[in-house]
Each structure stands twice: as C-alpha cells, then as structure tokens.
Amino acid sequence: MTNEQIIRDVYETLENRKNNPIDSYTSNILQDSNKLAEDKILEKIGEEAAEVLIASKNDENLVHESADLIFHILLLLVYKKISLDELLDEFQKRHE
C-alpha cells in the first residue's frame, strides 16, 4: 500500500469498526451512545493536541504524537459521518 492510500484505508477500517463492531479500541468508542462517543473522541483530541505541543517543544516523539492526533480526528470524522473526500476536497480548494 502506498503512503497516499494509507489514510483512506485507515478511514475505511474505522467505518467498518463502526458498522461491524469487534472488540477493539475504536469499535468500543464508536459503539457508545448518547454522544458519549463524541465526548470521548473530543477529549482524546484535546489530550493528543497537548501531547503534540509537548513533543514539539521537547523535540521528541513529534511524528508519533502527530499520528495519534490525526488518527483521533479521523475517528471524529467517521463518528460525524463526514467523508474523507469532504476533508480532502477542502484541502484541494485551498490549494488551487
């Protein structure tokens, strides 16, 4: 799989975890009801954003922490039913 395909593949895996739950971190969060899933994901985004700041300041683990943050944003998009193409289209528009 190329680097370009990986984000799409992860996004599709997360959609699959939502629609066909298994016993996993992402499935368990996505199955929560009453907006608990959204709150949990948002909390993780806040934590991971803070970890990115610390990683940058310390020049340590920035790639790892950036991946954690981006991953949790993808999880939020899946939860909110916002397609990956919608996000990519937004980048495309800004790049023209």
Ligand X SMILES: N=c1c2ncn([C@@H]3O[C@H](COP(=O)(O)OP(=O)(O)OP(=O)(O)O)[C@@H](O)[C@H]3O)c2ncn1[C@@H]1O[C@H](COP(=O)(O)O)[C@@H](O)[C@H]1O
Give the nearer residue to ligand X in terms of CB position, either 67 or 92.
67
Phi-psi region at 24: left, alpha or beta (left = phi > 0; alpha = psi -120 to 50): beta
**By CB under 6 A, which span of 17-25, 33-41, 52-60, 82-90 interacts with ligand X?**
17-25
Binding residue for ligand X (CB under 6 A) from 24, 31, 83, 92?
Answer: 24
Q: Are 88 and 7 spatial neighbours (Cβ–Cβ below 8 Å)?
A: no
Q: Does 56 bind ligand X (CB under 6 A)?
A: no
DSSP helix/strand/coil, 83: coil
**Six-digit token string for 8:** 């799409």
CB of 71 to ligand X, least distance (A): 4
